[in-house]
Amino acid sequence: MRTLSGRILVCGLLALLSSCTLRMVDFTAISTKSIDWSRAGEFKRGSSRVEGEDSALMILIIPLGIPHMKEAIDRAIESVPGAVALVDGVVSSRGFWLLIGESAYVVEGTPLIDPMIASADLPSNHIVARLDETSGEVELSYVDEAEYERVRGQAIGARTMEVDSSEVSR
């Protein structure tokens, strides 16, 4: 009896830890981004490979989502600043199922980096949002640190005045 329950436990653990991976395609270049190919000579290969994955769970036979290959590609590309594509890589599908399962796309490759995008500097590190109360539109603008601190001080002062006036009205 003891060996039978041990065998059942081992088989159950093996079933839980097993999964199936299917190598779907090897690729030379893949991207979901708009790329200016006329500037391809300026692109640089990344120094290491990256991986992106999109997965979905399944309970019994009911899927709780659908994995998308595009999302896996996007996650791999977006993991490197300035990357526009992946080169020399592979797309795989992975899955397992017992009572709870998972299905996933896994994309691995070397990032192709556009130095112009990677080195693009923002006008500032500070953004201010202004609300036009008549139209309800929000305007976002980059500001320097001094302007940011001025607007922040006004907002904090206005908030403090609101709190003080609400305490007085009690």
109-160 pLDDT per residue, tens: 999 999 888 766 566 677 888 888 888 888 888 888 888 888 888 888 766 5
Same domain, 101 and 63: yes
Q: Is 155 found in the same domain as 73?
A: no
Asked if residue 77 has pLDDT above 60, the reply is yes
Residues spanned by the domain of 71: 20-118
Radius of gyration (C-alpha) of the chain in whole angstroms: 26
25 shares its domain with 98: yes
pTM above 0.75, yes or no: no
Measure the CA angle with vertex 46, ends 114 and 55; round to 5°. 95
Q: Is the pLDDT of residue 166 over 60?
A: no
Residues 33 and 63 in one domain: yes
64-71: average pLDDT: 95
Residue 88 near residue 107, CB atoms below 8 Å: no
What is the C-alpha separation between 10 and 134, in angstroms, rounded?
69
Whether the per-residue pLDDT at 168 is higher than 70: the answer is: no
At 16 the pLDDT is 58
The number of folded domains in the chain is 2
Q: With bands split at pLDDT 50, 70 and 90, how would you rate the model's confidence at 161?
A: low
pLDDT of residue 156: 81
In a domain, 3, yes or no: no
